[in-house]
Each structure stands twice: as structure tokens, then as C-alpha cells.
Structure 1
Amino acid sequence: MLSTKLQEALNAQINAEQWSAYLYLSMSLDASVKGYKGISNWFSIQYQEEQAHAQLFIDYILSRGGRVTLAPIAAVPTEWATPLDMFRETLSHEQKVTSLIDNLCRLAADEQDFATSNQLIWFVNEQVEEEENARDIIDQLQMVSESQMGLYMIDKELGTRTYTAPSIAAQ
């Protein structure tokens, strides 16, 4: 059974994951309006991943006999000047999420809740991947600088991304 403190923290993480999903949906829509179909696709996939992360937390709380309490999702930005700005904000946001996951790990350790600690390992690894992906795309966008052909090629590449549902059991 989850402690009240840990249950509340996990519920807060569900809200953070849903906010992340909403942010990436907004980025996808902004990219689409601006004609970046590949970037729009990349953020649409990211939106789906964040929703799946929230669902993993929901399923975990329920599996431990806890109660999920959904909270309102705060508004997100709706426009970015450039794709580079989108991915810089993505990296900054993922670094914030990493700190949230780290805090959950500390709390689970303090509570000596080994099941939750084990569950969170997947999210720790996921955050390493999330930050690396954002950094890689930022590096690519910086390499092409003002080159419209370079931006076109990156947009085309990001359009090939497909969604694969995450599975903690696969760890």
C-alpha cells in the first residue's frame, strides 16, 4: 500500500505528465500551422508518449490499492518563433520532468517503498532518453542554422517517427 505522501506525489506526477502531453500537442499544432509536417508529427508522437506515461502512473497507483485524483491542467504556450525554440523549450521542460522524477525517487527511498522505487527506474531511464533526443534535434537544427534545405531535411526525418506504446514490463 502506498503512503499518503507518496500517493499525493504520484498524483501530482500524473498531472505533470498530462501537462507535458498538452504542451507537446500545442507544439504539434503550432508546427502544423507553420507547415512543418514532420516536426508536427514528432510532437504528436511525444504527446501520445506523455499520455502513456500518465497512464503508467495511474495503473501503478491502482495496482497498489491507491486512489487516483485528477487535477486541472494549467494552460500551455501556443506559439513558438522557430522549431529551434520549440526544441529548446522541450529540453528545458524534460529537464524539469527529470527533477520531478528524481524527487519521486528520493521520496520512495525515504519511505522505504521498494516497489515504487523499482517502478520509477523505468522513468529515470526514460528521462535520459527524452533529454538526449531533444539535445540531438537541437544540435541538428543548430548545424543547419539558416539553411531552409537543412530545415526541410530535418523536418522530413522527424516525419518518420512512429509511436510505440511504452511498457515497463519490457525493462
Structure 2
Amino acid sequence: MLKNNVLIALNEQINAEMHSAYLYLSMSAYFEDMGLGGFANWMKVQYKEELSHALKIFDFVNERNGRVTLKPIDGVPTDFDGIIDVFEKTLEHEQKVTGLIDNLMDIAVKASDHATQSFLRWFVDEQVEEEANVNELLDNLKLINGQGNGVFLLNRELQQRTFVDETTAV
């Protein structure tokens, strides 16, 4: 059984993950409009990952006999100042999500909720990977100043990314 403060925090995280998905779908649409299908694909995979994260928490709350309460998702930006801006905003967002996960872990620790702590370790590790991936892309984009043939090549590379639901493996 989940303690009320843990349940509230988990429900807030479901909302945050849904917001992340919505943000990445907006970024995908932005790239589609620019004719950058590879970048759009990368963001669409991010969108699917965030949805799977929300569902993983959703299922966990239900398994622990808690009640999921969904809230409205805040609006997201639809216009950006170029490719580098999108990935800078993506990195900022992933760092914010890392803070949310860390806070959620702190709540579980204070509540002595060992099952939730165990569950959240996957998310802690996932955030390290998320930030590293975005940092690498951002570094590459800055190397090519977000322009020219480098964008063309990176766009082709990002087209190859596929969604793998890693939440089902654990």
C-alpha cells in the first residue's frame, strides 16, 4: 500500500511524463515542418519513451493498490529558434525531469517505502542515459553550428532510431 504523499508524488510524475511526451511531439512537429524527418523521428521516439514511462508508473501505482488521478497537461511551446535551441531546451527539460525523479526518490526514502525506491532506481538510471544522449547530440550540433552538410548527415543518422520499450524489460 502506498502512503498518501508517495501516491501524490507518483501521480504528479505520471503527469510530468505525459507533459514530456507532449513536448517531444511538439518538437517532432517543428522538425517535420522544417523538412528534417530524422530529427522529427528522434523526437517521436522520445515521445514514445515518455509515454511508456508514464504507463510504467501508472501500472506501478495500480499494482500497489493506489489510485491514479490524471490531471490536465500544460501547454508546450510550438516554435523554436532553430535546431540547437530545440536541443538546449531538451537538455534543460531532461535536467528538470532528473530533479523530479530525484525528489520522488527522496519522498520514497523518507516514507521508508522500499518497493517504490526499488521501482524508481530504473528511472534514476534512465535519466543519466537521457541526459548523456541529449548532451552528445547538442555537442555535435554545436560542432557544426546547427547548419550545413553536418545537419544533413545527422538527420540521416537520426532517421535510423527506433523505439524499443525498455520499460517492459524490467
Q: What TM-score, normalized to structure 2?
A: 0.98
2:9 matched to which residue of 1? 9
Q: State the Cα RMSD in Å.
A: 0.9
C-alpha distance in 2 between matches for 1:67 and 1:85:
38
2:136 matched to which residue of 1? 136
Q: 1:168 to 1:106 in 2, by over 3 A?
A: farther
Show CA shifts across 1:24-49 (max 9, x none): 00000000001111000000000000
| Sequence identity percentage | 46
Offset of 1:147 from its aligned partner?
A: 4.0
1:118 matched to which residue of 2? 118
SS in structure 2 opposite 1:81? coil
Offset of 1:84 from its aligned partner?
A: 0.8
Once the two structures are superposed, the pairs formed by residues 77-88 of structure 1 within 5 Å of their partners are 77-88=77-88
- 1:109 is aligned with what amino acid? V
- 1:125 is aligned with what amino acid? D
C-alpha distance in 1 between matches for 2:91 and 2:20:
12
Show CA shifts across 1:90-144 (max 9, x none): 0000000000000011000000000000000000000000000110000000111
Offset of 1:167 from its aligned partner?
A: 2.4
Once the two structures are superposed, the pairs formed by residues 23-62 of structure 1 within 5 Å of their partners are 23-62=23-62
Q: 1:93 to 1:163 in 2, by over 3 A?
A: same
C-alpha distance in 1 between matches for 2:24 and 2:146:
24
Equivalent pairs, count: 170
Structure 1: give runs of 5+ residues left out of the alignment: none
SS in structure 2 opposite 1:75? coil
**After TM superposition, where is structure 1 displaced by more than 6 Å over at least 4 residues in a row?**
none
Offset of 1:146 from its aligned partner?
A: 5.4
C-alpha distance in 2 between matches for 1:30 and 1:88:
15
Offset of 1:13 from its aligned partner?
A: 0.2
Offset of 1:166 from its aligned partner?
A: 1.8
SS in structure 1 opposite 2:2? coil
- 1:157 is aligned with what amino acid? E
- 2:37 is aligned with what amino acid? K
Equivalent residues of 1:122, 1:168 under 8 A apart: no
Structure 2: give runs of 5+ residues left out of the alignment: none
2:160 matched to which residue of 1? 160
Q: What TM-score, normalized to structure 1?
A: 0.97
